[in-house]
Amino acid sequence: MSGYFGSSCSSCPNCGAHGSCDDGIGGSGNCTCDAGWTGSLCDACVADYYGPSCTACPSCGANGACNSTISGDGTCICNEGATGTSCESCVADYYGASCAACPSCANGTCDDGSSGSGSCQCDAGWTGALCDACASGYYGSGCSQCPDCGDHGSCLDGLEGSGSCSCDAGWAGDNCTACQTSYYGSSCTACPSCGSNGNCADGLGGNGTCICDEGWSGSACDACAEGYYGSTCQPCGSCLDNAVCLDGLLGNGTCVCDSGWEGAFCNVSSASSPFSSPATVLSDPSGAAGNNLGVGGVTLSANGLAMAASSYAGRVGTANAGSVLVWERTTVSDDFGTPVKLTDPNGADYDNLGAGGPCLSSDALIVVAGAHSDDNQGSNAGSLLVWMRSDVGTSFGTITPEVLLDPSGSFKDYLGHGGATLSTDTLILAAAAYGTNLPGHPDDDDLGMDTGAVVVWERSATSEAFGSVTPYSFRVG
């Protein structure tokens, strides 16, 4: 009979609406469940079946599982990183078939998604597996873009870089587009050595030749130019048309006369007596009796371009204030004309300017005269007046003299009584103050009164005024 099983015809269990009993004399009495159902009474869903009807679940792939069982709703429950109805996609920052977690990209984004590689896609300027380093050509903590360093430099890039251009040898400038000093031409080639007497024509537009200082010549500015002589290549004097200067590094600047000519300036014919022509008499056009022109001697510059003589008693409107007459010319072939009269703008009676004779520099650019009775530092303390011009084309008459005093000078020192003297290079000026007393012996005739001193002004360059340096003194005892 249906519903009973086995040899004893035992009653079958209730297999419900989703199963049937294995009945009959040969049956086992077990419930045979419909598809999707399981359990001894067919009252549960098998795996991957869900709901009251035990419907088959959809496929959730490798990244999810079905919400099965009789109480489940059949949706896919996705693993971490997966999403979608069938867990077929990855959420943001997960990648690949298994939706693995992306790495942390410091300055970029992950190549995520189910088809992504998981690698970091770096922002502009960044590189590295985690976008935490500067790409080539970028620098600093923010990986800013480097400037253009052209073809002759490279940027100091990287996180620690400054972003400035490091130029190749010979190149300079913010963008390495200019030549360094002493490099020249379109390739910024190193200049040759121009020594201490010239400079290279450098720069992109330069040709690398040495531009020599005045008086120097040669490819390395190591020789004197024509008309210059000695170890410092100073200019030769005026040799006129009858001679040549003994120039060059080994020359001494003297005039080597052509055949038939002689004299310091080769302007005297050797065929005639040097005294065959009458002497030229030079005088003060405004002179007067008692002026004493020439007392103290006459001085002539080594280049023959200036001559000076004192007229210590000659100055219109004053008594013995003194003056210095200077005859000037620009070439030795010219005659000395009308002299210029030099006076002390602040002079007074009996200053006796020039009584000790004037002093002329060898280059005819400086005139010095003493006013030994000048009262600037006490009666008859004395002073020196210095007229200094820049070239022989400038007249001494246009120059305001510089007044030099002995800082320790006093009453009756008579500074400049015997005139003054200049070194050949005009860097040292000296004058005597014969009335100077030795300090500590004011009344001792042997070591005190009128012991005398030599006062020296020493400057470091010809452009420096003597008045800008403090003089020193040499004294007896």
Per-residue pLDDT of the chain (477 residues; tens, 9 = 90+): 688 888 888 999 999 889 999 888 888 889 999 999 999 899 999 999 999 999 999 999 999 999 999 999 999 999 999 999 999 999 999 999 999 999 999 999 999 999 999 999 999 999 999 999 999 999 999 999 999 999 999 999 999 999 999 999 999 999 999 999 999 999 999 999 999 999 999 999 999 999 999 999 999 999 999 999 999 999 987 776 788 889 999 999 888 888 888 776 677 776 654 445 566 777 777 777 667 777 778 899 988 899 999 886 655 456 777 889 999 998 887 888 899 999 888 888 888 888 888 999 999 999 999 888 888 877 888 889 999 999 999 999 999 999 999 888 888 888 888 889 999 999 999 998 877 664 544 433 344 556 678 999 999 998 999 999 999 988 765
C-alpha pair distances (Å), 139 with each of 125, 145, 171 = 8, 6, 22
Structure-token pair, residue 70? 């009789």
- Residue 467's φ and ψ, nearest 5 degrees, are -65, -15
Answering whether pTM is above 0.85, one says no
How open is the CA angle 93-96-100, to the nearest 5 degrees?
Answer: 55
Q: Would you state the pLDDT for residue 71? A: 92
User: 396-400 long-range CB contacts below 8 Å, 24 or more apart?
Assistant: 396/306, 396/326, 396/328, 396/340, 396/342, 396/367, 397/326, 397/340, 397/341, 397/342, 400/345
Using a CB cutoff of 8 Å and minimum separation of 24, what contacts does 390-399 make? 390/365, 391/365, 392/305, 392/306, 392/328, 392/330, 392/364, 392/365, 393/330, 395/328, 395/340, 396/306, 396/326, 396/328, 396/340, 396/342, 396/367, 397/326, 397/340, 397/341, 397/342
Q: How many CB atoms lie within 10 A of CB 142?
A: 11
Nearest to 448 by CA among 456, 457, 439: 439
174: tokens are 């913010």
Q: Which of 377, 378, 376, 471 is nearest to 432 (CA)?
A: 471
Q: Which two tokens stand for residue 309?
A: 């003589």
> Distance between CA atoms of 50 and 62, rounded to whole angstroms?
19
List beta partners, residue 11. 4
CA proximity to 112, closest of 124, 100, 129: 100
